[in-house]
């Protein structure tokens, strides 16, 4: 974010955050609506953020606009919660971008929350593997929680590691495989591949070389952007797929599939992170609920 944004711009942004209307902001500041629009265009250029999204209920501020509003209020020593829109209009929805298995786990986790913490509505968005788009949606307030591969460092974004785990193979429950898939079986089997990029890694150079080689040389029968579609396909065919161990118990419970150890010599792992904006720390109720859900997700045994 550009730090040299003048006080007049901050005042306009703060006023628009509080009342949500360009016309009302112009009236309060004794300016024309055109002047407000020009100021917002200038602020967008300085910050590189959209700042506001036009909705049926008014102008909805994104994360950057809220932080600039708070900066203005702190400058003026205005600490009254009544002036900030998130206190007069409590958030009742949590928007999450993540994988389907995590959606299933969050649904289980919500059931375990205390009754007074179950008033939120959860909206799940399809996972996008492009880091820049994920960051943009977080900053613009389109997504509250982003759960997936680690995003690049950003001063506006917080991250919490949810889990680290090995990667296994899923196969039809009736397939006659031993506990660990052999390399010959891996090479002869047909594979289902998730089209969303997953950042798998190995603990050694040699293992990494072998893993990349064998993954790139798979006999691919199906490519899908949906984990659930691929698991369902494997449950009714002789196709196999790789999956982080963290998801195994949830998927084997819901589908006719079983877990096999990946062939020896190509062991790979996966890390998953939860990302959220700095503004969430200002909403204690929301932060408390997200903290409880995060704790549940980090306790893998509850999903076994």
pLDDT bracket for residue 82 (50, 70, 90):
very low
Structure-token pair, residue 102: 């995590």
pTM greater than 0.75: no
What is the CA angle 50-272-111, rounded to 5?
Answer: 90
* Strand 157-172, strand 257-260: pairing: antiparallel
| Residue pLDDT, tens place only, 178-223 | 999 999 999 999 999 988 877 889 988 888 988 999 999 999 999 9
Burial class (CB in 10 A: 0-12, 13-18, 19+), 175: middle
Q: DSSP string covering 116-140, please?
A: GG---EEEEE-----HHHHHHHHHT
- Pair 207, 265: CB distance under 8 Å: yes
pLDDT bracket for residue 174 (50, 70, 90):
very high
Q: Nearest to residue 185, comparing CAs of 267, 270, 261?
A: 261
Q: Nearest to residue 5, comparing CAs of 52, 32, 40, 35?
A: 40
Q: Which domains does the chain have, with CATH numbers?
A: 7-86 (1.10.10.10), 93-161+272-303 (3.40.190.10), 163-270 (3.40.190.10)
Q: Average pLDDT over the chain, rounded to whole?
A: 86
Question: How far, in Å, CA of 44 to CA of 49, rounded?
Answer: 5
């Amino acid at each position: 974010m550009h730090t040299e944004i003048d006080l007049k711009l901050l005042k306009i942004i703060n006023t628009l955050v509080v009342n949500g209307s360009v016309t009302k902001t112009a009236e309060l500041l004794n300016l024309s609506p055109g002047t407000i629009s020009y100021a917002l265009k200038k602020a967008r250029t300085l910050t590189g953020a959209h700042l506001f999204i036009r909705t049926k209920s008014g102008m909805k501020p994104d994360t950057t606009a809220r932080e600039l509003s708070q900066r203005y209020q702190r400058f003026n020593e205005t600490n009254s919660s009544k002036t900030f829109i998130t206190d007069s209009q409590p958030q009742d929805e949590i928007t999450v971008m993540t994988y389907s298995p995590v959606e299933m786990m969050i649904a289980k986790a919500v059931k375990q929350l205390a009754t007074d913490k179950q008033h939120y509505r959860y909206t799940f968005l399809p996972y996008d593997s492009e880091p820049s788009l994920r960051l943009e949606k977080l900053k613009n307030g389109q997504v509250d929680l982003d759960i997936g591969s680690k995003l690049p460092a950003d001063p506006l974004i917080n991250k919490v590691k949810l889990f680290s785990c090995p990667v296994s193979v899923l196969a039809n429950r009736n397939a006659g495989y031993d506990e660990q898939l052999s390399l010959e079986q891996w090479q002869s089997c047909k594979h289902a591949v998730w089209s969303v990029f997953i950042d798998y890694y190995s603990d050694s150079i040699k293992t990494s070389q072998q893993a990349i080689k064998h993954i790139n040389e798979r006999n691919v029968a199906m490519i899908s952007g949906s984990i659930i579609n691929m698991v369902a396909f494997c449950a009714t065919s002789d196709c196999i797929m790789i999956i982080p161990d963290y998801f195994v118990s949830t998927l084997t419970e819901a589908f006719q599939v079983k877990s096999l150890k990946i062939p020896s010599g190509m062991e790979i792992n996966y890390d998953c992170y939860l990302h959220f904006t700095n503004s969430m720390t200002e909403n204690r109720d929301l932060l408390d609920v997200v903290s409880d859900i995060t704790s549940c997700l980090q306790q893998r045994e509850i999903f076994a």
